[in-house]
Amino acid sequence: MPRVIELADDAVIGLAECTDAMASRGFDPADEDSLAHAALMLRRLGNDAQFLGDMVVAELARGNRDLQTDNSYGPEVIMLARPDTGKCFLRANIWPSPGEHMMRASGSEAFVYGLPHDHNFNFLTLGYFGPGYWSDYYEFDYEDVHGWQGETAGLRFASRERLEPGRLMLYRAHRDVHAQGPADALSVSLNIMHTGTGQGWLDQYQFDVERDQVAKILTPGSSETFLRIAVGLGGAEALDLAHRFARHHPSDRMRLHAWDALASVALDDPARDDLWRGAEGAGSLMVAMEAKARRAGLRA
């Protein structure tokens, strides 16, 4: 399960001071001094019980002008500092209870409840307000997983815990898995999120914990979408690029998306079957297993 950080400190800092401290020192979870500094800053920010409410009221008072325009997440996430603050950024997460209107209107999946997953980044989290969300925690060995749907994940159950107020934890990339359950009452957590070069190419998974399997990859990027559009619009150059990506791209995920793009413009099912047969022998175990599933789907 995530690493619990025992850190007692009564000092209080505001958001600006915390942001400045993180911008000057950065956040490297692999460096114990950097981790300790970030944890201390998050603890001290969390000791300010008023800052988040004041920030939300100030933004609401301005109407819709400039309201979280840099937020690429959903409305359940409040961006506190931009991702350029020392290879990390700060955010607050809202965790509704089953009785909240937002939960009934949007459904549990909008808040990642009931979707067991790992992360392709490290982050610190602190229980800030409310009783906190529940999690069933697991661990797995990322290096042993290739990522095809239905692959055995090797999940090891650790514990069931709640992110209680003041609890400080480090979620470890590609190791900690959690299946979140709703908070018993409206809750908020504060996060310091680590960012790094190439992070988007590292896969994040959703799991089927009952079957101990990989359910799907959660991290498709814009490059995959652009490739699919380029191939769909036609043109020899786009097809040539897709063929090269399908066989030689360093990311298995991109290879699979390239094969999918090529299959989408194949003339008929026999042509798609022939394409996926070629994918089975293209040098990627993940792609080979997905190709077998695609061929089975064509025969069904």
Rounded to whole angstroms, the Cα distance separating 296 from 273 reads 9
Q: Which residues contact 275 (CB under 8 A, 6 or more apart)?
A: 259, 262, 263, 266
Contact (CB, 8 A) for 271 and 283: no
Instruction: Please check whether residues 41 and 101 belong to one and the same domain.
Output: yes
Instruction: Please check whether residues 228 and 92 belong to one and the same domain.
Output: no
- What CATH code is carried by the domain that includes residue 84? 2.60.120.10
Instruction: Please check whether residues 38 and 180 belong to one and the same domain.
Output: yes
Instruction: Please check whether residues 70 and 172 belong to one and the same domain.
Output: yes
Burial of 63 (0-12, 13-18, 19+ CB in 10 A): exposed
Instruction: Please check whether residues 52 and 139 belong to one and the same domain.
Output: yes
Which of 217, 243, 259 is the C-terminal boundary of a domain? 217
Instruction: Please check whether residues 144 and 290 belong to one and the same domain.
Output: no
Q: What is the pLDDT of residue 108?
A: 86
Q: What is the pLDDT of residue 65?
A: 57
Determine the residue type at 77.
V
Instruction: Please check whether residues 264 and 282 belong to one and the same domain.
Output: yes
Number of independent structural domains in the chain? 2
Q: What is the pLDDT of residue 70?
A: 56
Instruction: Please check whether residues 177 and 28 belong to one and the same domain.
Output: yes
Rounded to whole angstroms, the Cα distance separating 40 from 202 reads 28
Q: What is the pLDDT of residue 87?
A: 81
Rounded to whole angstroms, the Cα distance separating 117 from 198 reads 20
Nearest to 41 by CA among 85, 100, 95: 85
- The segments of the chain whose pLDDT lies below 50 read none
Which of 202, 217, 232 is the C-terminal boundary of a domain? 217
Q: What is the pLDDT of residue 78?
A: 92
Structural domain that includes position 92: 3-217
CA 209 to chain centre: 18
Instruction: Please check whether residues 259 and 199 belong to one and the same domain.
Output: no
Instruction: Please check whether residues 183 and 252 belong to one and the same domain.
Output: no
Q: What is the pLDDT of residue 71?
A: 52
Instruction: Please check whether residues 161 and 53 belong to one and the same domain.
Output: yes
Q: What is the pLDDT of residue 110?
A: 83
Q: What is the pLDDT of residue 221?
A: 75
- DSSP designation for 117: B
Instruction: Please check whether residues 160 and 250 belong to one and the same domain.
Output: no
Which of 217, 249, 283 is the C-terminal boundary of a domain? 217
**Structure tokens given for 270:** 């026999």
Contact (CB, 8 A) for 245 and 280: no
Helical H segments across 149-221, by residue range: none
Q: What is the pLDDT of residue 83?
A: 65
The pairing of beta strand 205-208 with beta strand 187-194: unpaired
Residue 149: C-alpha distances to residues 10, 109, 114, 169, 278 (Å):
47, 20, 18, 30, 19
